[in-house]
Structure 1
Amino acid sequence: MSKTETFFKHITEGNTSKGDYITLGSAMLDGKTIKNAYVNVPLKTMNRHGLIAGATGTGKTKTLQVLAENLSEKGVPVLLMDIKGDLSGLAQPSPGHPKIDERHEKIGLSFDAKAFPVEVMSLSEQDGVRLRATISEFGPVLISRILGVTETQAGIISVIFKYCDDNKLPLLDLKDFKKILQYATGEGKKEFEEAYGRISSSSTGAILRKLVEIEQQGGDLFFGEKSFETEDLLRVDDNGRGYINIIRLTDIQDKPKLFSTFMLSLLAEIYSTFPEQGDSGRPELIMFIDEAHLIFNEASKALLNQIESIVKLIRSKGVGLYFVTQNPTDVPEAVLSQLGLKVQHALRAFTAKDRKAIKLTAQNYPDTEYYDTAEVLTSLGIGEALVSALNEKGKPTPLAATMMRAPMSRMDVLTDGELSSLLADSKLVRKYNEEVDRESAYEMLNKKIDQAEAEEAKEKAKKEKEELKKAESKRKTSSSRRRSTRQNPIVKVLSSPTVIRSVLGILTKMLK
């Protein structure tokens, strides 16, 4: 057998799947595409997480788009983090192009232009389904990790949540949390000390400053009601295709704290609410996190530990996480080691540091006699990638330089009119975009403070009235005494010593 025939057998046998699968493209050898040498990813193993990496302009976003389209066709819902704003085109079919036809001819796949069911979502004021969560849903542990507080401050946050639970004070948004922190060392200081011990005003002040940091990044829009229900990510359309949920994050790059907060809350909520699934044969939800370094670069150590824990555990819920970034080194090793599918587009070796990174990246892939992996990484063209997946038994498939198939949907953004039409037809927009500001801790504490102040004023007025009454009574008693001791002039004359001596003298003479 020739080298090409041997390679074809090596790839096709290694990529054979008994169950459902997604075809990414066809394998390449010595720079040429081997027709029908399909590189497949079993649907069963797609909850084992993955990585899409490569230099700018090498085709990472299109690979993400291809995976999302094919998952949707298989009935698997998808959640995309759209940092660059170029994924909304999934809602419209591709206009086609001769180069796309040429590519698919080399691969051995027919090309069908299709649109897919899409929901556009937003964390900020951009148009889309509003994503919100309440402070209470985060809980004291998660809030403490997000804020990066000290152990002492974390203890205070736990006390705050306990007080709110004990007194039925809903913690919904940032103003609720800020108000209760101020109350704990202000009007409610005595109440807190009696029930939970002394709370330092310097500690609550430090927590407040960290809350302001999140608030300035748009946290006041994210925290509140109506809280997003994660089961709405699992919808399928009437044709059985999974919805592709696109979160618009084009204005989030300067708000890494908010992005990390949202991602961690979403992962925690999914893990706590989704049922245990194990290896069921197909994933429940696939999430793609574009520009993943935004999470990891800005995350505290505690936050990174939380992300690593969730990545390890969430697979059993049937959820796959796919990180999209320029270099695999952007992803912590503890997370990278959990990733089953790796799609590595070209890397550029402009500096000594780049060359070192390429050598490290090459070591993350299975050994193969057909490629010098480090060399291939720098010679891949646009829309080409090194692919290594897991087969149905959990073993790595043969490493294949792959000519990737083209997206079936538009490789461009929606127009304003198309976006408006999409949102007008959305059931989730009608469900979540109504602002709700029901009575919560902020209003209840203000009412409590007002009542306390009214009671205090009433008590003060009562005391003043009683003191005035006492003073009046004392004045009257004093006046009465003065009147009783004030003698009649006749009595005064008759009782004077001179008169008394005279009378006694006369009586003495009379007796003699």
Structure 2
Amino acid sequence: MSDQDSIFVGGGGEGYGVPQQLLLKYGNRHGLIAGATGTGKTVTLQILAEGFSAAGVPVFLSDVKGDLSGLGASGSASHKLHEAFTKRSQTIGLDLQYGAFPVLFWDVFGDQGHPVRSTVSEMGPLLLSRLLELTEPQEGVLNVAFRLADEENLPLLDLKDLQAMLVFIGENANAISTRYGLVSTTSIGAIQRRLLVLENQGGAQMFGEPALDLADMMTCDASGKGRISILAADKLMASPRLYATFLLWLLSELFEELPEVGDPDKPKIVFFFDEAHLLFQDAPRALVEKVEQVARLIRSKGVGVYFITQNPADVPENILGQLGNRVQHALRAFTANDQKDLRMAAQTYRDNPRFVTEDAIRDVGTGEAVTSFLEAKGIPGMVERTLVRPPASQLGPIDPALRAQLMVQSPIRGKYEAVVDRDSAFEKLRARTEAAAREAAKTAEAEARAKAEPQGNGGLREFNSGRRYDGGPARRAEPAAKPKPSSRSDSITETFAKSFARQLGTKSGQAIVRGVLGSLFRR
């Protein structure tokens, strides 16, 4: 599986090359697992995860098809492929020993693992704009919402916080536009509709507290094996953009929170990004640049990122050029475009004089691959045809009873299951609105009392209003001082409270209350 400084990936037999190993000290130089459907990418991902775990390196991966939960159970001699595994092990010189690995199950929806959440603030406007498919003007409004929330100390934790913030901006669009630039109510409405779609897809469960603590993913068990965090992604894949955005957020969090470590002897954590084409499909240039930056710089923080996709062409060239460890399963060339992609894939490898790389990529069978791993001093290894080693853990999913048992034994059991809803933008805006409503009610009550007071001695008061007691003409009443204009230093929230007090009782005022507070007040 793994020795002190490398992971055994596969070997050769007749017509194949030398044994292939991934050096742990270059595990943070990123990698690529590519190939057509059914050629063995998932098994390659599984054996790499086993190798890193055995070397004491925590792993994060997404389980798109539900197959990778088998990492938590030992392989068995009773498995239908045991005979084939034994034969291959003998061919490549592997002493196959079955064994299970420490796993943590995670699930955005909380059904098949520990709930995993982010706050809206941690996600940020760029990734949220990508998730919601916003236009440039709409993204600008979202940036205003985040900026205003920061300035007014209104934490954005879950979707209702963001929705309340957008309502607040819409009702005060004129004042906010003066300070931050034009805020269109049309754009606000479009964002609200996108949030509703996200909520209907179950995306609201991804936002809130307690948010994920990265330290929980970067642990080892008592035997020193790195824990393998498995994200249940079979349901999440029904919303591909949500899946890609969530994984990119997690990668960004690793980038922002982990300290620089230079070139460690082995990675601090390895991150497998399955179905990587979803990350780049129709992605705006700003987002692709962010991924390029993360891929370029995160290795110095001890993080290895491995992209899994069908075709290397799915990954932008600037990122593809940073992937030093490669396992290329078969690519089929049925069309002219397929043949072009095959040639381009072959050109990224260091040639081997024993065979034509393009032919090898096309001809390798299931469980075989064309591989290249970084060698001493980080030099790309010569491309080799390789028989990929069998996994030590169970091939395929585990049964629900074993999954439930592993969840009960989880070291973080109970930490994320209960949702915490502390005071944030929604609650603070509601409190301020209630205070403004009470103040407006007091003002209205005082005005009503003043109007209801009796007007006794009206005739005398009228006479005295025209003459002074000494018989001279009465002095003209001094005009009331004009109210001072509102200070520019007034916060947006203060402006809102003042305008709310004036508007209460009107349809506009009632709309504000309903928009922020729902049905707290009824007409």
TM tier relative to shorter chain? 0.7 to 0.9
Report deviation, 1:91.
0.6
Equivalence for 2:480: none
Equivalence for 1:105: 90
2:152 to 167, 170, 177: 167
SS in 1 for 2:203: helix
User: How far apart are the structure 1 equivalents of 2:177 and 2:280?
Assistant: 39
2:66 to 74, 85, 100: 85
User: How far apart are the structure 1 equivalents of 2:241 and 2:174?
Assistant: 34
Report deviation, 1:352.
2.6
Report deviation, 1:126.
2.2
1:282 to 255, 266, 269: 266
Report deviation, 1:237.
0.4
Report deviation, 1:212.
3.0
Higher helix share: 1
* Residue correspondence of structure 1 range 200-239 to structure 2 within 5 A: 200-239=184-223
Task: Give 2:386's aligned amino acid.
Answer: T
Equivalence for 1:311: 295
CA contact (8 A) 2:33 2:306 kept: yes
1:158 to 117, 131, 143: 143
**Structure 2 gap ranges (5+):** 464-523
Equivalence for 2:344: 360
User: How far apart are the structure 2 equivalents of 1:193 and 1:397?
Assistant: 57
Query: Deviations along 1:178-201, whole A, 9 cap, x unmatched?
Result: 111101122x55764676566332
User: How far apart are the structure 2 equivalents of 1:29 and 1:352?
Assistant: 32
Query: Deviations along 1:11-59, whole A, 9 cap, x unmatched?
Result: xxxxxx99711111113553xx56xx31111111111111111111111
Report deviation, 1:260.
2.3
* Residue correspondence of structure 1 range 24-103 to structure 2 within 5 A: 24-28=9-13, 30=15, 33=16, 37-96=18-77, 97-103=82-88
SS in 2 for 1:438: coil
2:6 to 18, 21, 26: 21
User: How far apart are the structure 1 equivalents of 2:278 and 2:237?
Assistant: 7
2:396 to 372, 388, 412: 412
Query: Deviations along 1:215-267, whole A, 9 cap, x unmatched?
Result: 33322000100000112111000011000110000012221221122122111
Report deviation, 1:151.
4.8
SS in 1 for 2:378: coil
CA contact (8 A) 1:29 1:401 kept: no
Work out whether 1:374 is the aligned partner of 2:374.
no
User: How far apart are the structure 1 equivalents of 2:173 and 2:459?
Assistant: 44
SS in 2 for 1:137: helix
SS in 2 for 1:350: coil
Larger CA deviation: 385-394 vs 147-156: 147-156
Report deviation, 1:294.
2.1
SS in 2 for 1:133: coil
Query: Are the structure 2 counterparts of residues 99 and 205 from structure 1 closer, same or farther at C-alpha, using a change threshold of 3 Å?
Result: same
Equivalence for 2:427: 443
TM-score by length of 2: 0.82
User: How far apart are the structure 1 equivalents of 2:144 and 2:331?
Assistant: 50
Query: Deviations along 1:378-412, whole A, 9 cap, x unmatched?
Result: 22121110001111311011211001110000001
SS in 1 for 2:118: coil
CA contact (8 A) 2:5 2:23 kept: yes
Report deviation, 1:161.
2.5
Equivalence for 2:224: 240
User: How far apart are the structure 1 equivalents of 2:203 and 2:285?
Assistant: 21
User: How far apart are the structure 2 equivalents of 1:162 and 1:353?
Assistant: 46
Report deviation, 1:272.
0.9
Task: Give 1:228's aligned amino acid.
Answer: L
Task: Give 1:59's aligned amino acid.
Answer: G
1:128 to 113, 122, 138: 113
User: How far apart are the structure 1 equivalents of 2:86 and 2:383?
Assistant: 26
Equivalence for 1:428: 412
Give the paired residue count: 458
User: How far apart are the structure 1 equivalents of 2:364 and 2:103?
Assistant: 32
CA contact (8 A) 2:25 2:265 kept: yes
SS in 2 for 1:427: coil
User: How far apart are the structure 2 equivalents of 1:182 and 1:222?
Assistant: 22
Report deviation, 1:425.
1.0
Larger CA deviation: 260-269 vs 244-253: 260-269
The alignment's C-alpha RMSD in Å is: 2.3
Report deviation, 1:71.
0.6
SS in 2 for 1:253: helix
Work out whether 1:397 is the aligned partner of 2:378.
no
SS in 2 for 1:432: coil
User: How far apart are the structure 2 equivalents of 1:216 and 1:258?
Assistant: 12
Query: Are the structure 2 counterparts of residues 251 and 141 from structure 1 closer, same or farther at C-alpha, using a change threshold of 3 Å?
Result: closer
TM-score by length of 1: 0.84
Query: Deviations along 1:44-93, whole A, 9 cap, x unmatched?
Result: 11111111111111111111111000110100111011111100011111
Report deviation, 1:203.
2.8
User: How far apart are the structure 2 equivalents of 1:480 and 1:78?
Assistant: 88
Task: Give 1:124's aligned amino acid.
Answer: F
SS in 2 for 1:109: coil
Larger CA deviation: 253-262 vs 60-69: 253-262
Structure number with greater Rg is 1
Identity of aligned residues (%): 41
2:169 to 164, 184, 188: 184
Task: Give 2:142's aligned amino acid.
Answer: I
CA contact (8 A) 2:131 2:242 kept: no
User: How far apart are the structure 2 equivalents of 1:312 and 1:227?
Assistant: 27
Work out whether 1:139 is the aligned partner of 2:120.
no
Equivalence for 1:502: none
CA contact (8 A) 1:136 1:170 kept: yes
User: How far apart are the structure 2 equivalents of 1:302 and 1:431?
Assistant: 35
**Structure 1 gap ranges (5+):** 1-16, 483-512
